[in-house]
Chains A and B, each alone.
Chain A
Amino acid sequence: MLDALEGIAGFVFNLDLLSTYGWRLLQGLRITAEVVLISCSLGFLLSYPLARGRMSRNPLISAPALAYVTFFRGTPLLCQLYLVYYGAGEIRPFLASVDLWWFFRDAFYCCIFAFTLNTAAYQAEIVRGAVQSVPKGQLEAARALGLSPYAIARHVLWPQALLIALRPLGNELIGIIKASALAAIVTLLDLMGETRFVFARTFDFSIYLYSALIYLSITQAISRLWNWIEALLSRHLLAGRPATMVLGAATRKGQGAALDPLRAEP
């Protein structure tokens, strides 16, 4: 009985494993970081024209944009990754003829290509949703003030849209970090890939838990960082809130409610 309990404790934590293979995990982490940062940035750049395309009134532009977004949001990322990685192998003669084979030959670039296309679709929808959430009154007022379309976009629309989009985009970044684990399935030795490598060598389950802890720390850190950025960038919104909310914080419980003219007292 004690033996079995020891067995359970043993398979959950194994510190020797970390000392022998920890450096491998860190190497994988570096690859993961590269893949995530590159895909996320390229995807962000791509999402702007895509979002504009989605919002366009011209069906020749909005239809392909809709098709793109529907495809990349409607199919699993793993399937898209396989399509890019193995599909490129199948059309290799064509790719070689346009001198692109060197790109698709490498698992690293294939992953970045697939992840970028995928995240661009999600980010485009987030940005589109944010732009459409900016109160119409803002745009009307800006037009009434005689601002040029460029000035409206630059000073009124996009700053507010990006602020609304900030939280979902943060979630998307965390989503990409988690999705990057799929790169391991196409032989890329990112954090997940190194984890599988070590497990195959040692059959020690605890390597998965260490890997999970690393991913968890990263996503938690990003989450908190994002909260801080959001609070920083929306400082100005705090000033515009009804006085009651500020007062409510300052007064003791109950008194704040009494000072609130908007809340009906039961």
Chain B
Amino acid sequence: MGWFSLLFGPDGWAPLLLRGTVITILLSVVTVPFGFGAGLVLALLKLSPSRPVRVACDAYTTFFRGIPDLLSLFIVYFGLQSLLNVLARLLGDAWRIEMNAFVAGVIALSVVVAAYSSEVWVASLKAVPPGQAEAARSLGLHPKQVFLLVILPQLGRVALPGMGNIWTILVKDTSLISTLAVSDLLRAASEASRATTRPLLFYGAAAGIYLIFSIVSGVGQAYLERRANQGYA
């Protein structure tokens, strides 16, 4: 059967691939606030004066950055399942919480992204000149205002290259979720290629789509960096 009809014919697999693409994009986009947000919180905790807190956060980061992402995803995925199981037993049968694969995937990815991004956030927090915070405080701004209005915008500029890197890693890590039966793009390509025994066609198509993501992300990142660096030499 010609490749065109395999993709676009009446029994074509293109709609499934398209749905997989949407899931991949959704997975990546939904993970961003949770993963990067948790990473920022982690970074702030790492700069805390309390030593146990710093040690705990460093341990978390070292653990998830030191093991394969695939293993991290498995640990969070199966660990979450077991945890929910134990919770259900503790709280009684009536409280069994159901969690779908997409949410589990987002949580697993967020845990990994938080670990990676916390390093970038820490470096960025240290790169913002301390004079900025001092000046803001001396102007009478409340600590929360100091952070939100003065530090955070400057953080963005310094953190952008590192974050862009982590975004790339995130999009590629969504492909690992395919091993956990979430129907993302790579999973759709796997199912299609197994049913039709035409792996080159479907994995090639998936690779092409990922490549487009990658190029678009690169262009987007360059644009954001140009804008963020507008006022600077």
Contacts and interface: CB of A to CB of B under 8 A. Distances in A.
Interface stretch (B68-76, B121-129, B145-153, B155-163): B68-76
Interface string B154-194: 00000000000000000111011011000000100110010
Contact of A192 (B70, B190, B213): B70
Given A4-B86, A7-B86, A82-B203, A75 B66 contact: no
Contacts of B86: 4, 7-8, 11
A163 interface: no
A71 B71 CA distance: 25
A174 B173 CA distance: 16
Interface residues of B, number: 40
A216 B68 contact: no
A168 to B, nearest CB: 12
Interface string A115-144: 000000000000000000000000000000
B79 A205 contact: yes
Q: Which one of A74, A179, A216 has the greatest number of beta carbons of chain B within 10 Å?
A: A74
- Give chain B's interface secondary structure class: helix
B52 to A, nearest CB: 20
Contact of B200 (A1, A73, A75, A83): A83
A89 B74 contact: no
Interface residues of A, number: 42
Contacts of A83: 199-200, 203-204, 207
A7 B66 contact: no
Interface of A: 1, 4, 7-8, 11, 70-71, 73-80, 82-83, 86-87, 89-91, 174, 177-182, 184-185, 192, 195, 205, 208-209, 211-212, 215-216, 219-220
